[in-house]
Amino acid sequence: MTARRGVGPNIVTLLALIGVLGALVFLMGTVDRQGRELTAVSASNDALHSQVEDAGETPVAPLAKAVTGQAGEAGAMGSIGKPGRDGPAPTSEQVASSVAAFCALRLDCAGAAGPIGPVAPPLIPRDGIDGVDGADSTVPGDKGATGADSQVPGPTGTGIASIACQDDGYWLFTLTQPDNTTTTLTVAGPCRVDPTTPPEGATP
């Protein structure tokens, strides 16, 4: 058989082997099916033979065991037929499927190991994008522990430098400010009592 252009002799041989294997599988299946059918017929015949004997009659057909002889020797192989006409070229899918099946049986279709590839560049870590802020909790948290006293002095407050009672009866407060300046503050008293004015409700 002459291979068509574009199809190697190995692929043609492989396809021929696959065809032969398929024919053998079909033949073996046919023989096995016929053997099962013959066994079923023999069992039915023996059962019928027993029923006839139980009825007091004489069976006409003998038991299957009495008529089944030993298997004969295999016949000689017939002559090889003439090569057939070239079939159509296989498709790329058929070629790929046949090669995969052949390699699965041979287990040695792998090519030589290729050279080791170059070393990958170092991985540069990068920060991801910040996620969305979560919603505020509606459950109050536990009370925290009492904090320690501050070690930083607080700012200087306003102090009272002096307090004086004025002649008009009002208090005069002199205050010191944090910037070391002084201010005054007048507060209504009275800070003294006029002896010529009787107390409210008193009889002059």
- Looking at the fold, whether 10 and 98 belong to one and the same domain comes out as yes
Nearest to 172 by CA among 187, 155, 159, 150: 187
Q: Write out pLDDT tens, residues 195-204.
A: 555 555 545 4
Is the residue at 8 inside a domain?
yes
CA dist., res. 165 & res. 173, Å (int)? 9
Is the residue at 202 inside a domain?
no
> CB of 171 within 8 A of CB of 186?
yes
Total domains, the chain: 2
pTM over 0.85: no
Q: What percent of the chain has pLDDT over 90?
A: 0
- Looking at the fold, whether 10 and 101 belong to one and the same domain comes out as yes
- Looking at the fold, whether 2 and 102 belong to one and the same domain comes out as yes
- Looking at the fold, whether 102 and 1 belong to one and the same domain comes out as yes
Is the residue at 152 inside a domain?
no
- Tell me how far CA of residue 153 lies from CA of 55, 147, 150, 157, in angstroms: 127, 16, 8, 11
> CB of 133 within 8 A of CB of 152?
no
Which of 47-61, 78-92, 115-129 is predicted least confidently?
47-61
Range of the domain at 167: 157-193
| Residue 45 DSSP code | H
Tell me how far the alpha carbon of residue 52 is from its chain's centroid: 70
- Looking at the fold, whether 61 and 161 belong to one and the same domain comes out as no
- Looking at the fold, whether 102 and 171 belong to one and the same domain comes out as no
Q: Write out pLDDT tens, residues 104-142.
A: 776 667 667 788 988 888 888 888 788 888 888 888 888
Is the residue at 134 inside a domain?
no
